[in-house]
Amino acid sequence: MTASQNVLTVEISDGVGLATVNRPEVRNAINSAVLQALTRTLEELAENDDVQVLIFTGAGDKAFVAGADINDLAVRTPRDGLKATMQSVYEKVEQFPKPTIAAVNGYAFGGGHELALACDIRIASTAAQFALPETGLGIMPGAGGTQRLAKLVGLGRATEIILTGRRVKADDALAMGLVTSVVEPGELLDTARETANAIMAKGPLAIQLAKLVVRHGFDTDHTTGMLLERLAQSVLYSSAEKAEGTTAFLEKRTPDFRSAARKDVTE
């Protein structure tokens, strides 16, 4: 199944949604139309049971997303800064109930870098480069970059990247933990799909709760994080999914988590 929203294309196949920012003529720069399409897509796919994992990428071979459209930035006002539309959309990406993967195929600058940061997993091609160049425009990262980058790579390194605006190549991004793997450009989407398939082979409720606990536990104190872990585990202990997973292991067969998930919904 393929749906087109002009600036954003969405393909759904075998449980995986592929959302492609489709403005290659401007290196997939994000404007208001892209943000609106992203919002619609996230709302629709959150309720679509045919989608278990969502992959983001950019059209063409030059850019993932090369930041916000400078023509839009040039006319923004303090009121726009407070409204923080891009930040709000990326919050929706981060809070998306299903796992998300950024398949970074080229330049991921500014808002493009921040889109990748909002995803659960980042896989880069050898051609990928990351940067937060906003200070060179007299502004600063405003869609989560100041917060998410520091959590991934550490406060000192994130501060240096933001203040200098320097470009981080794929191998350096891997070394600092910004991405989880680097592959040749022709292997990028296949690798992202393989990662999605590995996730989909696991219990869907376990995946959803693990994502929630990791995200929210990281932002709180240790004791509260451990409590979240215990509570989530107690929910899973009562699920048909856990019964299916443990029974299948003992019977030396592949678990049928989809049937178990349906049972959990109907009980």
Q: Domain boundary at 144, 179, 200, which?
A: 200
- Catalytic residue positions, numbered: 114, 134
CA 107, 108, 110, 111: dihedral to nearest 10 degrees?
130
**Residue 29 and residue 106 in one domain:** yes
Average pLDDT across the chain, whole number: 90
**Between 168 and 262, where is the model more confident?**
168
Predicted pLDDT of residue 41: 95
**Residue 172 and residue 212 in one domain:** no
Residue 173 has pLDDT above 70, yes or no: yes
- C-alpha to C-alpha distance for 20 and 11, rounded to whole angstroms: 8
For the full predicted model, state whether its pTM sits above 0.75: yes
**Between 67 and 90, where is the model more confident?**
90
Q: Is the dihedral of CA 215, 202, 46, 93 positive or negative?
A: positive
**Residue 96 and residue 187 in one domain:** yes
**Between 80 and 212, where is the model more confident?**
212
**Residue 208 and residue 175 in one domain:** no
Residue 182 has pLDDT above 90, yes or no: yes
Residue 263 has pLDDT above 70, yes or no: no
DSSP letters for the chain: -EEE-SSEEEEEETTEEEEEE--GGGTT-B-HHHHHHHHHHHHHHHT-TT-SEEEEEESTTTEEEE-B-HHHHTT--HHHHHH-HHHHHHHHHHH-SS-EEEEE-SEEETHHHHHHHHSSEEEEETT-EEE--GGGGT----SSHHHHHHHHH-HHHHHHHHHH---EEHHHHHHTTS-SEEE-GGGHHHHHHHHHHHHHTS-HHHHHHHHHHHHHHHTS-HHHHHHHHHHHHHHHHTSHHHHHHHHHHHTTS---HHHHHHHHHH-
Number of domains in the chain: 2
Q: Domain boundary at 181, 200, 219, which?
A: 200
For 104-156, the pLDDT digits (tens) are 999 999 999 999 999 999 999 999 999 999 999 888 898 999 999 999 999 99
**In terms of residue numbers, what domain contains 229?**
204-266
